[in-house]
């Protein structure tokens, strides 16, 4: 085995093939965007309505509402479900902040649940422990495209009469037991920012089969649609202005890109899935590394493999810190970093910050008890940073090149003892509150 690059040896990756990682940009996509510009359609909704229709059809859902980003879609979904003053949603602590912070503006609050150490999704066992008479909904995040345990979560929701919101921002094209993620909950939300597997520049969308949820979402932040879309009596009397005071319309350049991407996305994710599983099969044989993916034959898939990661077991590599391990891989030409989203319950916003000048921290302003005291037992959420790192996200199936990257992993693993003397351990703090994959 060659000498490690970090110790003066040659890099395993001699030349980066940018096509391996590049997002798709086609001539048709360019022309569709130019059409929006030339016809001055930027603030119209004709292309957006067409995009919504096709996205909903792909998922077999009745209603779709496109928004300017995934955060706005979640905000609309919470209002659509009538989440309000004093209501609690249960959310995993390890997720992007947009999964839960929008609830604050509606007077609701968030109760954090721990995650599963293998899937990094919300742990159904911990959900049930945290349900109270004020719980109204469960926020499910298919983290890094790994489908959550929807059977158990839906059973819990049914048992306690709770709503289920799917944050499918990582899960474009992912399957849970053969069915698309984003089709299980009362409402689901997707993000389309440029780094997502279905990136269209910026944007988000809400899916539901519930007409009232759909209309409430429209009246909350889509005033331009009120007269055409609102049919429910108690909503009709308030048309004309957005009830939330928000304008969440998707930009039509994003809609244009989305329409083109829908034509090819299924083929794109087939190639991504082939490439990523080929790579994962190669590195899975190495000690200390376990790719983050569903078991083969489970009917669950990772779709476009947004932000692919692997679990790390330092005890299998002589206690080598994940920081030193990633440093060695980077020196070989593999771009990796340790950690994932930081556990949100540790952020001051959820313990001490008074956003709306209510005289007490916003998270507990309408709570009859101090729910901050329940932020215990979140042990996996607090320790996961030292046991996970990102891996290359291959967009093209090029086996020869993929094997080069797998060789880099093999090289580092087999020479791990050479890294131990220079290992300074992990920093006290890593990961990021707003961690998201950006192009």
Query: In DSSP terms, which residues pair with 187 in a beta bridge?
Result: 165, 208
- Whether 196 is a known active-site residue: answer yes
The Cα 220–Cα 241 span in angstroms is 9
Which residues in 217-288 belong to E strands, given as ranges? Answer: none
Residue located via tokens 């059409």: 35
Nearest C-alpha neighbor of 261 from the set 332, 196, 319: 196
The Cα 309–Cα 55 span in angstroms is 27
Residue located via tokens 């569903």: 294
Edge-to-edge strands of the sheet including 289-291?
289-291, 309-312, 388-390
- Distances from the Cα of 401 to the Cα of 19, 122, 379, 409, angstroms: 11, 35, 38, 13
Nearest C-alpha neighbor of 55 from the set 196, 255, 253: 255
Structural element, H or E, at residue 290: strand 289-291
Indicate which residue of 136, 196, 302, 342 is catalytic: 196
Q: Are 356 and 389 in contact (CB under 8 A)?
A: no
The Cα 272–Cα 228 span in angstroms is 40
The Cα 194–Cα 408 span in angstroms is 28
* Residues belonging to the active site: 196
């Amino acid at each position: 085995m060659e000498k490690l690059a970090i110790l003066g040896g040659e890099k395993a990756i001699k030349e980066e093939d940018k096509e391996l990682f590049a997002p798709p940009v086609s001539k048709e996509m360019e022309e569709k965007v130019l059409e929006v510009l030339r016809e001055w359609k930027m603030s119209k909704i004709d292309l957006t309505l067409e995009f919504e229709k096709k996205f909903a059809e792909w998922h077999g859902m009745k209603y779709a509402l496109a928004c300017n980003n995934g955060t706005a879609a979640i905000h609309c979904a919470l209002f659509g479900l009538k989440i309000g003053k004093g209501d609690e949603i249960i959310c995993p602590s390890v997720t992007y902040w947009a999964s839960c912070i929008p609830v604050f503006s509606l007077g609701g609050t968030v109760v954090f649940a721990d995650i599963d150490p293998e899937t990094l999704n919300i742990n159904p066992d911990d959900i049930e422990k945290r349900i109270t008479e004020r719980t109204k909904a469960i926020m499910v995040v298919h983290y890094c495209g790994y489908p959550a345990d929807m059977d158990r979560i839906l059973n819990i929701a049914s048992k306690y009469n709770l709503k289920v919101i799917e944050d499918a921002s990582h899960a474009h094209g992912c399957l849970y037991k053969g069915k698309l993620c984003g089709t299980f909950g009362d409402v689901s939300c997707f993000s389309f920012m440029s780094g997502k597997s279905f990136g269209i520049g910026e944007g988000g969308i809400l899916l539901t089969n519930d007409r009232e949820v759909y209309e409430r979402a429209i009246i909350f932040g889509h005033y331009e649609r009120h007269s055409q879309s609102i049919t429910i009596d108690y909503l009709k009397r308030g048309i004309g202005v957005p009830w939330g005071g928000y304008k969440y319309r998707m930009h039509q350049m994003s809609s244009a890109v989305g329409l083109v991407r829908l034509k090819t996305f299924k083929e794109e994710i087939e190639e991504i899935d082939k490439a990523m599983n080929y790579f994962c099969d190669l590195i899975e044989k190495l000690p200390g590394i376990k790719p983050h993916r569903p078991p083969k034959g489970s009917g669950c898939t990772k779709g476009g493999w947004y932000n692919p990661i692997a679990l790390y077991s330092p005890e299998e590599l002589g206690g080598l810190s994940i920081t030193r391990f990633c440093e060695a891989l980077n020196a070989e030409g593999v771009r990796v970093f340790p950690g994932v989203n930081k556990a949100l319950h540790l952020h001051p916003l959820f313990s001490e910050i008074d956003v709306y000048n209510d005289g007490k921290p916003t998270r507990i302003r309408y709570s009859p008890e101090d729910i901050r005291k329940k932020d215990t037992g979140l042990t996996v959420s607090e320790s996961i940073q030292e046991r996970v790192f990102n891996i290359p996200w291959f967009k093209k199936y090029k086996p020869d090149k993929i094997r080069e990257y797998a060789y880099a992993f093999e090289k580092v693993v087999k020479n791990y003892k050479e890294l131990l003397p220079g290992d300074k351990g992990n920093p006290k703090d890593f990961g990021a509150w707003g961690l998201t994959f950006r192009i």
